[in-house]
Amino acid sequence: MRYTTAGESHGPEEIAIIEGVPSGLHITQEDVNEQLSRRQHGYGRGERQKIETDTVTFLTGVRHQLTLGSPITLNVHNDDHNSWSKIMAPNDVATSENTLRKVLRPRPGHADLVGGMKYRHQSDLRNVLERSSARETTMRVAVGAVAKKILAEIGVDVHGFVVNIGPAKSDLSTLTQYKNLQELREVTENFKTRALDATADAAMRDVIDKAKRDANTVGGQVQVIATGMPVGLGSYVSADEKLDGKIARAIVGINAFKGVQFGGGFDNSEKYGDEIMDEIFWDATKGFYRGTDNLGGFEGGMTTGEAILVRGVVKPIPTLYRPMKSVDIDTHKEHRASIERSDTTAVTAAAVIAEAMVAIELAKSVLDKFDSDNIDRMKEQVAQYREEIRAF
């Protein structure tokens, strides 16, 4: 499975094409819309999420709610485009009238300045920010929804939630009380911040409120958990086959993510070997298993069968309503940075995006290993493989 996204933030359409989805997978537009909605809602999101309700249209690759095996095109219309149709017009020559709202004072932390240099967009940094905008992550969530449908067919579940927003933190020790991700999902999805507990949710809302009052922004950390993956996806034989490495790239490739870790991650660097490794046990019913999951579901770049635990860190949104120092690229004079409409925090949405990216990488790894032409044939193979592993 490979995919490509396209679209500018105020252009007419966001598009994604996914290749390599097995034929025969049941999927509806509602399956995707449900995930798009999760991305749009969250405490601290700004006006745009109220203007638009993202809904997907399947342009290709699906017939009668079943995938064809051919490339699938997902299309989300930008309702907001109406106000921008001249400024973003593809087929009209630039005039004084349709080049309003130029951006010439790059925002620190955004791609504006460097993107302008790289692509020679001196006349208007809008040519950068329309694409570098996190609007693009809409399509990654849409692709992730397809990935999650594939994974669901083989009993893999994936869920993301918020660890902290600024100084306000979820109580991670409560995680052990959930039997499965569905139970966890029902809790975290009911908090406006996607926190793990009510106390944290309230504290996070306070942090967001404060940041908003200060015309500031705030970041945080998100956690994604995946359960039910077959053992032995990814490989140690070559470094670029390691599945955790692929997930790391996918997470850091999300707008604003500045780091990723697995299992205990950075905290484990202060511990000793015998505190960290997950000991090995065997049981006639389930075969080999572990008692702990300190390594976050990976050994040697391969899935161990334990839950996959991925943490990402999200920097604050760089657009500040009380802007930071910048320089006008025309005059080279110091100016405060431009302002584009923006949110106070995107951490709550980031949990959904990170979940999507993990789902995409897991689905890819499954489709790579097994015959992925048809979903039923794939399921048959996965079942046989699981039985083989159980009997090892």
Task: Give the footprint of a copy of itself on residues 72-131 (CB under 8 A).
Answer: 72-73, 88-94, 98-99, 106-111, 113-122, 127-128, 130-131
Residue partners of 148: CB distance under 8 A and separation at least 6: 35, 158, 356, 359, 363
Contact positions with a copy of itself (CB under 8 A) in 4-43 = 4-8, 11-15, 17, 19, 23-24, 28-29
Binding segment (CB under 8 A) for a copy of itself, from list 41-49, 185-193, 195-203, 363-371: 363-371
Nearer to a copy of itself, 160 or 219 (CB): 219
β-strand pairing of 13-19 with 2-6: antiparallel
The first and second tokens of residue 122, run together, are 């001196």
Nearer to a copy of itself, 47 or 63 (CB): 63
Residue partners of 25: CB distance under 8 A and separation at least 6: 66, 67, 146, 149, 150, 153, 375
Instruction: DSSP for 97-151, please give it.
Output: STT-S---SPPTTSSHHHHHHHHT-TT-THHHHHHHSGGGHHHHHHHHHHHHHHH
Binding segment (CB under 8 A) for a copy of itself, from list 40-48, 152-160, 179-187, 365-373: 365-373
Contact positions with a copy of itself (CB under 8 A) in 140-169 = 140, 164, 166-167
Binds a copy of itself (CB under 8 A): choice among 40, 170, 221, 348: 221
Beta-carbon-side half-sphere exposure of residue 61 (alpha carbons within 13 Å)? 24
Contact positions with a copy of itself (CB under 8 A) in 230-259 = 231-232, 235-240, 242, 244-255, 258-259
Furthest-apart CA atoms within the chain: distance in Å: 76
User: Least Å distance between CB 171 and a copy of itself?
Assistant: 16
Nearer to a copy of itself, 48 or 77 (CB): 77
CB 213 within 8 A of CB 205: no
Residues 191-220, one symbol each (x = binds a copy of itself by CB under 8 A, - = not), give --------------------x--x-xxxxx
Nearer to a copy of itself, 142 or 317 (CB): 317
Closest CA to 56 of 5, 2, 1: 5
Contact positions with a copy of itself (CB under 8 A) in 293-352 = 295-296, 299-305, 311, 313-318, 320, 322, 324-327, 329, 332, 334, 337
- For 16, the 3-state DSSP assignment is strand
